[in-house]
Amino acid sequence: MGIKNQDGFTIIEISLFFAVSGLLLVTMLSGVGVSIQRQRFTDSVNGTQAFLQQQYQETQVTLNDRDTSDCGPLSRGASECLVVGKLIDLGKGDANAEEVTLHSYEVIVNQNAADAAVNTDSPPGDRDFLNNDDGDGVDAKTKAIKSTRSDQDYIVPWGAKLDTLEDSKGNPGPSNSSDLRYILIARSPINGLISTYKLNISRDIELFDSTNSYSIVGTIKDFEGTENQSIKACVASADLFSTKALLKITPGSSQDSVTTQFDTDEKGNWCS
């Protein structure tokens, strides 16, 4: 009697086929998911960098069309306020926050004070003028202004967080750093140069809880001590465990002051 050929597949063969196919599909989808999460994280880091760089660009091309009396009495048809730059609120660096929002506000000085400083025989330094600590009695009345027209809010996308937000003091790691929250990007009304400053204001202080203007006279500080000093923060992914990038702001006059790093020794030391 001849042997009859069997057509089709056995149940075991079909089961093995579906098991292997399912495993391959899960592996493929898992890889796609990780790729999407990595792209989202990259977008979060690059978007945050772009927002901060934009503040330098807008300081460079500031338009002084503000109609306010925060600098003193208004002249007929003109304001005595001169917009000189941006105050950036980087937040508290809370890794447990639901979302991180960066804020940008305009900074103004008194136009008459700026004119008087320019016309003196020995004009004060930029920081001295803004802080009114040059001893000549000229009051710049430097203020940050909250206004729905000019304020900017940036929500860091995809749930990424800023933590280890500190003044580096030139250190490779955050162990000897200090708290920091506010920075100032200002275009000098004396010589037109743009500088970056840090503000000596507690991280816990909310500038505009009860007012639309906040005097920053006396709080403006230079980056000091070392050329390696900077403001640093770790941007942490919401989806990828232990995945971080380093956001760095150095003293400077252009958008090049804001940089990001993904895989460097500096990032590893700060965001370990």
Q: What confidence tens digit (pLDDT) does each residue in 162-201 have? A: 999 999 988 889 988 888 999 999 999 888 999 999 999 9
**242 token code pair:** 């232990």
pLDDT value at position 75?
Answer: 44
**Contacts with 128 (C-beta within 8 Å, 6 or more apart), sequence order:** 134
Predicted pLDDT at 30: 56
Q: Quick one: CA torsion of 56, 57, 61, 65, rounded to 10 degrees?
A: -70
Q: Please tell me what DSSP assigns to residue 205.
A: -
Kindly state the helix (H) or strand (E) to which residue 196 belongs, with its residue range: strand 194-199
Tell me how far apart the terminal alpha carbons of the chain are, to the nearest angstrom: 76
More confident residue, 182 or 147: 182
Q: How far apart are CA 250 and CA 201, in angstroms?
A: 18
Is 185:218 a contact under the CB 8 Å cutoff? no
CA distances for 54 relative to 92, 125, 226, angstroms: 21, 26, 26
- Range scoring the smallest mean pLDDT among 31-35, 74-78, 262-266: 74-78
List the one residue out of 151, 250, 185, 181 whose CA is nearest residue 55. 185
* 114 vs 71: CA distance, rounded Å: 12
Residue 204 neighbours by CB under 8 Å, 6+ apart: 92
β-pairing, 101-110 vs 81-89, is antiparallel
Nearest-angstrom CA–CA distance, 3 and 123: 108
The amino acid that residue 138 corresponds to is: V
For 7-49, how does the pLDDT look when each residue is reduced to its tens digit (9 = 90+)?
666 777 667 766 776 676 666 655 556 788 899 999 999 999 9
Domain ranges of the chain: 39-270
Q: In the structure encoding, which two tokens stand for residue 130, read together?
A: 């803004």
Percentage of residues in the chain with pLDDT exceeding 70? 81
Least confident of 96-110, 116-130, 147-161, 224-238: 224-238
